[in-house]
Chain A
Amino acid sequence: MRAITYAEALREALAEEMRRDERVFVFGEDVELGYAFTVCKGLIDEFGPERVRDTPICEQTIVGIAVGSSMIGMRPVPEIEFCDLLTLCMDQICNEAAKLRYMSGGQVCFPLVVRSPAGKWGSFGAQHSQTLDAWFMHVPGLKVAVPATPYDAKGLLKSAIRDDNPVLFIERKLLYQIPGPVPEGEYLVPLGQAKIHREGKDATVVAIGRMVSLALNASETLEKEGIKATILDPRTLVPLDRESILASVRETHRVVIVEEGCKTGGVGGEIAAVVSEEALDDLDAPIRRVAALDTPVPFNAALEDFVLPSEERIIQAVRDVVSF
């Protein structure tokens, strides 16, 4: 199978969906040239400035246009260059896109996909390095997808674009240039279905986004110690594939949840609560969370690495639950 990067996979998804459905269009800051992470690069050549459009630096307007155009039957896919800036469009996303279908009694739907990269890029400072998945997970009416591989990036984005509900599509900066196997031709990855990357009987590591590759590396080290871990990626946080997580916990009896966002009020807390509510009697050790420290992400590279989760911390957490 051919290998393409995460960014190329996303671009393929956009192109395929734009070809398939003329209501699909992309817009945002620098999308015509494909800044900052090259996802939209070249789309303008095929689809023209009508469907690939630069906007001023005004995030609330970008999402506001998306909400309005989706309301009249378009399928907009706006890009917010850094997920940190989603704060500027919280009203549009959380109070309008997420709620208006409900408030209109289902008369109007909002098929928009807000794409935005999150997480570390490397010394991008506290306002350009956050991982805010959990914020949107907390809003009823939104779906949240976090692809970890080129394959999932393409398949999930295509599903998101076809969904009639607003989807927050939160990508990962450090994954954009990482290649991975992606089949030729069309396929979909359904929202709400987890993926098991590796199976082991000793612990379940639920990893999200870029943390999947860290967890996979960690599992290789652990395997040398005789500890075999299952690496499970939920792929979408809303809807969350509770059944797959619980089934794995019932096999391994130990859970470590790894996320790039901060620990307090994070995704890991929600998944841990699901596990303890549904599978307490299957646990052999407390649930451990590996997450960013509760601090702004530092600019200093060494401090940034210290604050964000690392392979070593995942290894420690798995050792901890196995030996508890």
Chain B
Amino acid sequence: MMATEVTIPNLGYTMTVAKILRFVKSVGDSVEAGETLFEIETDKVNYGIEAPVSGVVKAILRDEGDEVPVGGVVAIIGDRDEQVDLARYMGREGEGEGKAPEGERQEREVVSAARLEKGRVLASPVARKMARERGIDLTLIRGSGRSGRIRMADVERYLREVMTEGREIEAGPTFPEIAEVITMTSMRATIARRLSRSFREAPHFNLFTEVDMTEVNRLRESTGDSIEAQAGTRLSINDILIKGAALVLREFPLLNARLVDEKIEVLKDIHIGLAVALDEGLIVPAVEKADHKRLWQIARERKDLVDRARQGRLKLHEIERGTFTISNLGMYDVYFFTSILNPPQTGILSVGRIVERPVVRGGSIVIRPIADMSLAVDHRVVDGAVGARFLEALKRGLENPYTLL
């Protein structure tokens, strides 16, 4: 058997790197094909990487906590007696990244270089000993020897500098004190990166409307028991919003599209993502082909997705497949708000709290449950009128929800 490389698979459109959480197997362990070798964390989920073949783990090339780009080799599986030329795998970080967008690739290469250095720190034996004895991470020290080798003098300089720094901090009371430094989780960092990019690159505009939710409430009440019997959960406002948005999107295909390199890719299926708030961040699992589903089916699927989102057990495709997003903060005391587009989608609907408000109907002031909604749209893909017509159609559908059944 030839040695088999175990690499980081590409698990989604926006995935570029994965962080190695934990190795389940060690060098020398036997593995069966399909057994979990190690666990990774991507921007979306935690995922177990399985052995592609049976054999013996010949080498593990990364450390726990390392970020490895898609395609990066993490482990080698081979026969027990096989000699594996590990030198071949050194300095191969850049491979398997051809598909990545240019800007991100550059960013990753910097990370890779640093990590390569981390894996093979050049340091003299006495420098290693000093670092070991004093608990210093050699990767923090800049080497002054040949090829950047860390020498004893560098460790001594580092110790002097650290000690000097410590004194300066004590002497300088004018700075605000830091109570805690939180390193972003991979998820948090991804949210930050993707939404920054969305906000920077996609020119959004927002449209607002108010929707009379009387009939939606009535629908929920009248179907409550029967849907609960079928779906195992009561029909929620979100279910009706999902179905409504999905049906209306059929008529507005540009809002169910994404922009890739100056090409608008109109998507065939309509999968409505629902933003779910977790303690550690936001996740948007999507109800598949929501326009084709009955309300009870949507309710059942929505409940399942939300439950599993909270347990961290979503599958990647469930998060990646969304084509349009609904963000509902109705459970909070928020009347209306706007959202940032969930890239690479074109539209996102923001739904505020349902509030009883006086409104004029047929010349009289009546009290109705009203929800304020906003639609954020990528102006590169659609213009105001298209967005407005979509929102109008959605409003009409929600105010006459029986047309959605």
Contacts and interface: CB of A to CB of B under 8 A. Distances in A.
Interface of A: 253, 280-285, 323-324
Interface in B139-166: 145-146, 149, 151-153
Given A282-B125, A282-B126, A283-B125, A253 B145 contact: no
Given A285-B151, A324-B124, 9 more contacts: A253-B152, A281-B126, A283-B125, A284-B124, A284-B125, A284-B151, A284-B152, A285-B124, A324-B149
A223 B152 CA distance: 20
B120 to A, nearest CB: 17
A166 B145 CA distance: 47
Those 4 A-B pairs whose CB atoms lie nearest each other, nearest first: A281-B129, A284-B124, A284-B152, A284-B126
Contacts of B124: 253, 283-285, 324
B44 interface: no
A283 to B, nearest CB: 5
B321 interface: no
B372 to A, nearest CB: 70
A323 B146 contact: yes
A94 B129 CA distance: 42
Contacts of B126: 253, 281-284
A323 B144 CA distance: 9
Residue in B126, B127, B145 with the greatest tally of chain A CB atoms within 10 Å: B126
B302 interface: no
B207 to A, nearest CB: 68
B127 to A, nearest CB: 7
Nearest to B129: A281
B125 A324 contact: no
Contacts of A324: 124, 145-146, 149, 151
Contacts of B153: 284
Contacts of A283: 124-126
Contact of A281 (B128, B145, B146, B151): B128
Contacts of B149: 324
Contacts of B146: 323-324
B129 A282 contact: yes
Contacts of A323: 145-146
A324 B153 CA distance: 11
B130 to A, nearest CB: 9
Contact of A280 (B125, B127, B145, B152): B125
A67 B126 CA distance: 48
Contacts of A282: 125-126, 129
Interface string B103-126: 000000000000000000000111
A268 B257 CA distance: 75
A283 B124 CA distance: 7
Residue in A280, A281, A282, A284 with the greatest tally of chain B CB atoms within 10 Å: A284
Contacts of A284: 124-127, 151-153
Contacts of B152: 253, 284
Nearest to A283: B125
Nearest to B132: A281
B278 to A, nearest CB: 48
Contacts of B151: 284-285, 324
B158 to A, nearest CB: 15
A285 B126 CA distance: 9
A280 B129 CA distance: 10
B308 to A, nearest CB: 52
Contacts of B129: 281-282
A281 B151 CA distance: 12
B216 to A, nearest CB: 74
B155 to A, nearest CB: 10
A283 B146 CA distance: 15
Nearest to B154: A284
A323 B147 CA distance: 11
Contacts of A253: 124, 126, 152
Nearest to A253: B126
A282 B132 CA distance: 13
A57 B146 CA distance: 55
Nearest to B149: A324
A304 B124 CA distance: 36
